[in-house]
Structure 1
Amino acid sequence: MMGRVQFPRNARAIVLAAVALAVSLGLGACAEMSQILQSGAGTPGTSSQSGLSRAIKESLELSSTRAADLLSQTGGYQNSSLYRIRLPEPVQPIASRLRQFGLGGQVDQIEKLMNQGAERAAVEAKEVFIGAVRSMTIADAMGIVRGSNTAATDYFRQNTETQLRQKYLPIIQSNLQQIGFYNQYQQLLTAYKQLPLTNKPDLDLEQHVLTQSLNALFTQVGEEEKAIRKDPIGRGSSAIAAVFGR
């Protein structure tokens, strides 16, 4: 009977980390990962490393889309104490004055449309994240496993933010166009941007919502990732307990 293949300690550490990440997300790839651990495969240049990378990608795909699912549900932004999008800071004094004159309902409606636009746009994030994960190289995947607590989040932001901005903007614009004075606001904004003033505050609602919604998205992706790294056996998985027991 052929004995168990031995492999370098650093390669074993990488495999263990990948198994922990995969199992903590409840992946069916655990059996495959355990087989790699048993056989000692997964050293550079082997086909088993491709399987290992594939399992990591599946894990990250689940992790990243959880953030999109959370924020794209009804009230994902609007009802969140962390991620609710409010009017830009320079506009807040004006909003306060409007409330004093009994126009608080209009202010609330604007904020509601801002948040609903962000929630509608967040649906698009899943497809973009999945595409980014599936285009990862083996080196990318292994680097994430060995990286910092937000290595996956940093990877996603670097590789998806431009595409997400392109997908988000028309959805946010469509939602804000429901504001009664949207066209007049855009005309005023165009004139405002042409004023020869320094240190002008940014009053562009569309860009404000776009930036705030993406900041919230990547922050939540980071929270998902840190939670997995901090407590990989938090799901009470017997499989992962067995891996750490080894």
Structure 2
Amino acid sequence: MKNLFSLSLILSILLVSSCDLLNEALEEPANINIAEGLKEALRVGTDTATSKLAIVDGYLKDEAVKILLPDELESQIASLKAIEINAFGIGTITGEQLYNTGIPLLDIPSLAEKEEELILGLNRAAEEAAKEAGPIFFDAIRGITIADAESILYGSDTAATAYLIDNTYESLFNTFEPKVNNAVNQVTIGDQTVEAIYANFVNEYNGILNTSIPLSLFEQQTLGSIAGINSIEEADISAYATTRGLDGLFLKVQDEEANIRNNVSARVNDILREVFGLLD
């Protein structure tokens, strides 16, 4: 009786183990297919992103990804535009007037047109660099190992893109930044590179702040000291353009991932139809 019980116990253990192994064997191909399907969605998203952004006006005319001035500079300009000064012998000077038209009497140039040139240049540089983004993204996608693919598949509409960002952003930035740096130093607006336009903009902005304003017959102060605005230092405009350029690319990849998840016609090959069909 004891031997019979032991034999039954052994058979039960073997049966459970066999079932577990069978389940793992059956599940493994599905997991591999899901992971590859997610990668394929990211590859298709990258193709779409670069085709939309690596063209003239790809960034510039798309408000969702358009690259504006760095936040610090935007904040400084807003502070400048908000001031109002009563200049002796000249009258009231507003910040809007200073920025938009300048004050020829005080040799203060307008910065509004130069801002437009800088924004144009930043977006042109991003558009140029985006032409080389595809292979960089493909290498990153190929190299990642997607853990818990099933939970990503059944996650949010942009879960795969979020996973890509979390696991490859630093390496993508480091690889993409030299491409953007080349563009910033080679793309020209008029006869100036984007880097030169930015440097000149910062210099002229600081020059405005350092302009002496007559407050009375015997007193003058710099505009910056009157307004309580400090000069700014040049930032790494290449790093800034890289960050914003990647933001735009990832946004378009996210859009395409969501499209593949929710639109059957966007599943352009068998693996996308197989994997994302599980969501239907």
Relative to the length of structure 1, the TM-score reads: 0.60
- Give the one of 257, 260, 263 matched to 1:225: 257
- Give the one of 69, 80, 92 matched to 1:87: 69
CA distance in 2, matches of 1:105, 1:121: 24
Indicate the structure (1 or 2) with the bigger Cα radius of gyration: 2
Cα gap change, 1:187/1:166 in structure 2, threshold over 3 Å: closer, same or farther?
farther
CA distance in 2, matches of 1:44, 1:164: 32
Amino acid of the structure 1 residue aligned with 2:101: Q
Amino acid of the structure 2 residue aligned with 1:66: T
Shift of 1:78: 0.9
CA distance in 1, matches of 2:117, 2:137: 31
Q: Which moved more, 1:156-165 or 1:102-111?
A: 102-111
Q: Say which SS state the counterpart of residue 43 (structure 1) adopts.
A: helix
Q: Is 1:71–2:56 an aligned residue pair?
A: no
Amino acid of the structure 2 residue aligned with 1:167: T
Cα gap change, 1:225/1:234 in structure 2, threshold over 3 Å: closer, same or farther?
same
CA distance in 2, matches of 1:56, 1:63: 10
Q: CA deviation digits over 1:183-203, x for unaligned, max 9? A: 567899xxxxxxxxxxx9896
Q: Say which SS state the counterpart of residue 44 (structure 1) adopts.
A: helix
Q: Structure 1: which 5+ runs fail to align?
A: 1-41, 189-199
Q: Is the 8 A contact 1:68 1:125 kept in 2?
A: yes
- Give the one of 113, 120, 138 matched to 1:112: 120
Shift of 1:174: 3.6
Q: Is the 8 A contact 2:260 2:267 kept in 1?
A: no
Relative to the length of structure 2, the TM-score reads: 0.54
Q: Which moved more, 1:74-83 or 1:200-209?
A: 200-209
Q: Percent identity?
A: 26
Shift of 1:112: 1.0
Partner of 1:44: 27
Partner of 1:208: 240
Cα gap change, 1:74/1:135 in structure 2, threshold over 3 Å: closer, same or farther?
same
CA distance in 2, matches of 1:132, 1:140: 18
Equivalences for residues 1-246 of structure 1 within 5 A:
43-46=26-29, 50=32, 53-88=35-70, 89-93=74-78, 97-101=98-102, 102-137=110-145, 139=147, 141-177=149-185, 178-179=193-194, 180=196, 204=235, 205-229=237-261, 231-234=262-265
Shift of 1:54: 3.7
Q: Is the 8 A contact 1:43 1:49 kept in 2?
A: no
Cα gap change, 1:218/1:138 in structure 2, threshold over 3 Å: closer, same or farther?
closer
Amino acid of the structure 2 residue aligned with 1:154: A
CA distance in 2, matches of 1:107, 1:185: 7
Cα gap change, 1:124/1:202 in structure 2, threshold over 3 Å: closer, same or farther?
farther
Q: CA deviation digits over 1:24-70, x for unaligned, max 9? A: xxxxxxxxxxxxxxxxxx82245x75456444433331123312321
Cα gap change, 1:91/1:70 in structure 2, threshold over 3 Å: closer, same or farther?
farther
CA distance in 2, matches of 1:215, 1:60: 15
CA distance in 2, matches of 1:143, 1:166: 29
Amino acid of the structure 1 residue aligned with 2:254: G
Amino acid of the structure 1 residue aligned with 2:256: E
Cα gap change, 1:77/1:167 in structure 2, threshold over 3 Å: closer, same or farther?
same
RMSD: 4.0
Q: Is the 8 A contact 2:137 2:172 kept in 1?
A: no
Shift of 1:143: 4.3
Q: Structure 2: which 5+ runs fail to align?
A: 1-24, 82-95, 103-109, 186-192, 205-230
Cα gap change, 1:62/1:90 in structure 2, threshold over 3 Å: closer, same or farther?
same
The count of residues paired between Structure 1 and Structure 2 equals 193
